[in-house]
Amino acid sequence: MPRQFPKISLSEVDESVRLLAEKVYASVLKEEDTKDALSMYTVPEDCPIGLHQDREMEMLKEIAEQYSEESTKRKKNFKMKRSQLVSQQFPSSLNINPEWAMSVVTPLLFPGTPVCPSIPENSPEFQRVTISGDYCAGITVEDYEQAAKTLMKALFIREKYSRLAYHRFPRTTAQFLRSAENQKWNVEDEILPDMCPCPREGEDPYTTEGIPDDLNYSLQMKDGIVYVYDDAEALKQQQPHSLPYPDLETFAIDLTPHHYITTSHCCPIPNDPLYYGFYLHEMLNEMAELKELKGVPHRDFYNVRKVDTHIHAAACMNQKHLLKFIQTTYKTEADRVVLEKGGQMITLKQVFDTLAMDPYDLTVDSLDVHAGRQTFHRFDKFNSKYNPVGASELREIYLKTDNYIKGEYFARIIKEVAHELEESKYQHAEPRMSIYGRSPDEWESLASWFIQHKVHSPNMRWIIQVPRIYDIFRSKKIVQNFAKLLENIFLPLFEATVNPQKNKEIHVFLKYVTGFDSVDDESKHSDHMFSYKSPKPEEWTSDDNPPYSYYLFHMYANIMVLNNLRKERGLNTFQFRPHCGEAGSITHLVSAFLTADNISHGLNLKKSPVLQYLYYLAQVPIAMSPLSNNSLFLEYSKNPLKEFLQKGLCVSLSTDDPMQFHYTKEALMEEYAIAAQLWKLSTCDTCEIARNSVLQSGLSHQEKKHFLGANYLQDGPDGNDIRRTNVAQIRMAYRHETLCNELSFLVEAVKTEASSTQVE
């Protein structure tokens, strides 16, 4: 059966819910207008008196519930279901012994019950912690069940969007969602990204042999989304090829429950137990984990695979590397023509003469590409750091692909960085290259640069970043509306997919592209309130920049249609991996929860415990860059990476911009070293972060099997090959059991509410 995007109309949803969502949007915009950027992470936003009153009200509700026969009956019913169906809460495919599951859950449901743990054979022995007592102390049964229902709905929606776009969705969470629907999960139903494996030794990565035939489909952009038609007649009849085509109205409706639970503080389920639970686990089992790691032959932190999951190509070198390269080219190629201005040819020597400087006298200080205190909360000053010695001419010569020398210097720098990665063997990177949307010819130019200069490396995969700068292009009359920007970005990709023989270079380049990113300063405020009433891209003709959620939806929508088309043709698919949560509104993280495979930064999750809990339950990968944040938005000591790691979120370490933030040749190792020293991370911690980086990367299935183990797709200790990852089986078992426990509570709360409703 063809894959289709299930659409929802406003007539099918509760009007009160829609109005509530719009109210939430408006309140968020109001907060943005009045918020002091410098106090984002240090000053509590809620009024202490109001919080005290809220606690009193909750306490009164809980006291009243104790005297309610109905509430007592519902709580007892919930406990009975938990005890009777505990074997169903842990699906058989998880390889969790029901007797052991009972031993974990029974003391929680019925305090005073003796504990007789029966650990499954394949589970490592370690000291487990059980929290017993009332399962929803501090809140009413009704509130707990409503919160669980809302969280489950949010997970179902993310699963829908992930499956449609060929993004990953964790097996464990999917299994529990099927259990909530009283269905059985099958591994055959799992949907994963499809990445091209690295060419084998001796194979030509730039070969144009074996390219699929052209289909000559017709293409048309409609409502900001590229539609595919089998032929001109189908286009004339408006009968598109059978692919899932999303619409803005459905997306806005799907966002409603997420916005509500994350901004109205309606969800009373805490996630602090995740933090303190890990603290107890670490206190009791740290030496056991270390003992496990000491017994692993050959493997240690230095030779486990690590992927720099967030790095920009234009700053992938450190400042010393760039300085030496500039000095070397001046010494050997001073008379080479490198610029053309007004019809005049300019040599490298003339460029430096105009700047009144001798490259020999340059230092890293005078190069002035390193971020510091002056860039904190000043994104404009940070962007200027891409200009060596403050000269845009040097940026064009050394850090661009589309210049007079056809990006030769930039390619040489990247190849030197790639060589260092290959020498290290165990480090990989995913550099981001820019496609701006000014012209459809950008793709051909970038692909030609990649092939002509032979930039491919087995230790690199490429991500395309799209800056959110429509307002600049519109003010300069480069594009007439937002739809034209989207067309310039995505139409060439569809043409290369439909007719690869006519677009051979783009086809070859796309084999090594693993995803797309949306980049720019998130703290920039948009006056437009995103909703189902937002104008369509063809109608967006104002000079104002669309809001973040508007960008994300239209990028996701085109990537989703493109992935389905490419999967149909047996080609690789792409992930959507936007910058998100570095600054700006919390609603950015809500939009990304639906649309993104994984995100970069995620700092603002610290401000929303509910959304943080959702990101944990869905195991949404987060590429964090503490050194980058330290220079731009958040002091290192306040970075939530350690907290996120302890709670079990899927976090990795990345460098962002080594040229601006790092000092050594191995910027990624520098990032790990500083984090380990400052937060006192154990070897198991750093190896867990490294394993996460491989999981969330765009490496192929074959490479991940080689780096992590043949069963890496399985969750828990069964999916971990300690001989390759150096992550203790105890740690993996703890993470898996904790996630199962959290999900089982939500599933049974939803089932209990449903059964109670049927009885009534």
Residue corresponding to tokens 């000591």: 637
Closest alpha carbon to 565 in 639, 510, 614: 510
| CB neighbours of residue 210 within 10 Å | 5
Q: Which runs of consecutive H residues, i.e. helices, occur in 346-386?
A: 348-354, 364-367, 379-384
| DSSP 3-state of 347 | strand
Compute the distance between CA of residue 512 and CA of residue 205 in angstroms, rounded to an integer.
9
Distance (Å, rounded) from C-alpha 219 to C-alpha 553? 20
DSSP 243-276: -----HHHHHHHHHHHHHHHHS-------HHHHH
3-state secondary structure 645-702: HHHCCCEEECCECHHHHCCCCCHHHHHHHHHHHHHCCCHHHHHHHHHHHHHHCCCCHH
Q: Cα(518)–Cα(560) distance, rounded to whole angstroms?
A: 15
d(CA 487, CA 56): 55
Interatomic CA distance for residues 255 and 263, integer angstroms: 12
CA dihedral 252, 254, 255, 261 (to 10 degrees): 150
At 517 the three-state DSSP class reads strand
∠ CA 732-738-740, rounded to 5°: 100
- Choose, from 167, 601, 662, 736, the residue flagged as catalytic: 601
- List phi, psi (to 5°) of 465: -100, 135
d(CA 415, CA 412): 5
Among 547, 518, 523, which Cα is nearest to 535's? 547
Q: Which residues contact 630 (CB under 8 A, 6 or more apart)?
A: 636, 639, 661
* 428 assigned to active site: no
Alpha-helical segments (H) within 134-185: 141-164, 171-180
Helix, strand, or coil here: 17? helix
Angstrom distance (rounded) from CA 149 to CA 260: 13
What order do you get walking across the sheet with 575-576 strand by strand? Answer: 306-312, 427-434, 462-467, 513-519, 575-576
User: In this structure, what token pair is assigned to residue 308?
Assistant: 């720099």
Residues 429, 697: Cα–Cα separation, whole Å = 9
CB 105 within 8 Å of CB 111: no
What element of type H or E holds 718? none
Distance CA 53, CA 64 (A): 17
DSSP assigned state of 212: P
Q: DSSP readout, 68-99?
A: -HHHHHHHHHHHHHHHHSHHHHS-GGG---HH
d(CA 283, CA 122): 23
Catalytic (active-site) positions:
601
